[in-house]
Amino acid sequence: MEQHRPSSWGVLLIVSLAVFILVIDTTTMEVSISALVHDLDTNASTIQTIITIYTLVKAAFMLIGAKLQDFIGRKKAFLIGAAMYGIGVFTAATSQNAAMFLVGWSILEGIGTVLMLPATVTFITGTYEGKERAFAFGVWGGIAAAASIFGLIFGGYLTTNHSWRWVFALELVILLIIFALHRVLKETRPTESWKSFDRGGAVLSVLGLMALVFGILMVKEPSEWVIVPFLILGGIILLFGFYFWERRQIRNAKGVLVDVTILPERSFLAGNVVAIGQKFVSAGFIFIFPLFYEMVTGASAYETGIALLPMTLGVVVFSILGARLSSSVEPKYVLLLGIALAGAGLAALRDVFSLTTTAHDIFPGSLLFGIGLGLVLSQLTNLTLSSIRSERQTDASGIYNTTRQLGSSLGTALIGIVLALGFVRGLPSGQPSPYLPGQPLLSIGISDAAINQGMEWAFVAMILVVIGMFLAGLFIRKTGKIV
């Protein structure tokens, strides 16, 4: 391993650029629904379906995308994914109707993502060691979290003042930079042949993850609740079947999609639980805060993103500082401190929301939450993946990124439901919700009690998840100061 080559940090640059476009792409589209409906001559339900399909593709095929590194090599898998993603971006940018946008964004970009994202993790584990690896993973996590808020700001600005299509133009420029720098990426030789590809495991994992994630996403639709238990239970049963199928494959010395024997490793399992919680809380916060701010004040997505700038800065700065801190402090303690600070930030925000809330009111709590989140991200990925031996890093990265996708889906679905239930609970008895899309709640006489109750319930739910993260973090083994 040549850690000190001048080009070695070029790997981190490519990885960071890749993660950046993968995250802002999703956030930007979520704040551009109205513009997409108008420009593609469709309706909001169709656009929501396209977003759901994109989420399903990423979650269902992430394990396969990671495994392909073993069959064709890490660099080749990444570059094929980047090329496919680029074709998808161009198709989406030039879409004239919803069908064309579905193919470009949901399918081609989705498949490109499952090839690129796991490789960004294994590029880091394969290139860096010690404090350099801790620093690289801190940057990786910080960029991913900050990009979601940058998507609100940048995407909101372009959608409001220009066009959502310009977001894809930015992504194409970044992809060209990635291809221009690709020579700094070191190729790895395939370690398995196509004959050993685990088709049975692939089918079980895809069907199980698709059913589970679709069921989770449908929680947001009360009219579909009748099928939700069947989807979620069916997904869980299929995933259990996948687990035992993989164990059988291992016993028979046959090829596997994922080496599931790494799952019981204490630090890896605990780290994945913390990762689910972190994505749950992050996605939940990014979902409900813009919803509140735009509904109450009529603020644009761009203005909402500006209100979250302190949180963004906290995430970016402390994800980098936290990685440096691990050379003088036990990384596990930095992680636990970050979880505690994130919980404290959520607790500070729990009771500040009302019809008269301003950006100044949420500044202290959101900054503290961002600082805590940054510290968590500075340690979590490294602590989780470093517990797995190097030859199983593709399996570990596939599982890790899949659990993160599950956490994100859970956060947006469940926190949205908790918010709605609290909101209804806070309404005066017998009063229906008079909210009309696009109309600020401030202008239609909604009571402070309803707003405060809904947001308080949502934040209490996120605080409970953070407590669970802290308990899971206690089971992560100490690694000693990173040198």
Give the pLDDT band of residue 316 (cuts 50, 70, 90).
Answer: confident
Q: What per-residue confidence (pLDDT) applies to 365? A: 92
Q: What is residue 448's predicted lDDT score, i.e. its pLDDT? A: 63
**pLDDT exceeds 50 at position 209:** yes
For residue 170, what are the contacts with CB-CB under 8 A and spacing of at least 6?
A: 21, 154
Q: Any residues with CB less than 8 A from the CB of 5 and at least 6 apart, and which?
A: none
For residue 164, the one-letter residue type is W
Residue 180: how many CA atoms within 13 Å on its side-chain side? 8
Per-residue H/E/C for 314-374: HHHHHHHHHHHHCCCCCHHHHHHHHHHHHHHHHHHHCCCCCCCCCHHHHHHHHHHHHHHHH
Residues 172-200 have a mean pLDDT of 90
Residue 229 CB-half CA count within 13 A: 1
CA geometry: angle 66, 71, 75, nearest 5 deg: 65
Which of 36-40, 203-207, 283-287, 328-332 ranks highest by mean pLDDT? 203-207
pLDDT at 264 over 70: yes
In this model, does residue 246 exceed pLDDT 60?
Answer: yes
pLDDT in tens, 50-100: 888 998 999 899 999 999 999 999 999 999 999 999 999 999 999 999 999
CA distance 146 to 317: 10
Helix (H, G, I), strand (E, B) or coil at 219: coil
pLDDT on residue 437: 43
| Average pLDDT over every residue of 340-351 | 94
pLDDT in tens, 390-447: 888 889 999 999 999 899 888 888 888 888 777 776 555 555 444 444 444 443 345 5
Cα–Cα distance measured from residue 166 to residue 154, given in angstroms and rounded to the nearest whole number? 10
Query: From CA 435, how far away is CA 422, in angstroms rounded?
Result: 15
pLDDT, position 328: 85
| Single pTM value for the model | 0.85
Q: Which residue has the higher pLDDT, 291 or 394?
A: 394
CA distance 270 to 473: 6
Q: Higher-confidence residue: 203 or 421?
A: 203
What is the C-alpha to C-alpha distance for residues 406 and 214, in angstroms, rounded to an integer? 10
Q: How far apart are CA 80 and CA 71, in angstroms?
A: 13
Kindly give, in sequence order, each residue whose CB lies less than 8 Å from that of residue 39, ignoring residues fewer than 6 positions away: 163, 164
Number of neighbouring beta carbons within 10 Å of residue 169: 13
Say what the pLDDT of residue 482 is.
Answer: 67
Average pLDDT for 117-140: 89
Residue 474 has pLDDT above 90, yes or no: yes
Nearest residue to 198 (alpha-carbon basis) of 244, 245, 237: 245
Give the CA distances from residue 248 to residues 219, 236, 263, in Å, rounded to whole numbers and listed in that order.
Answer: 34, 18, 15
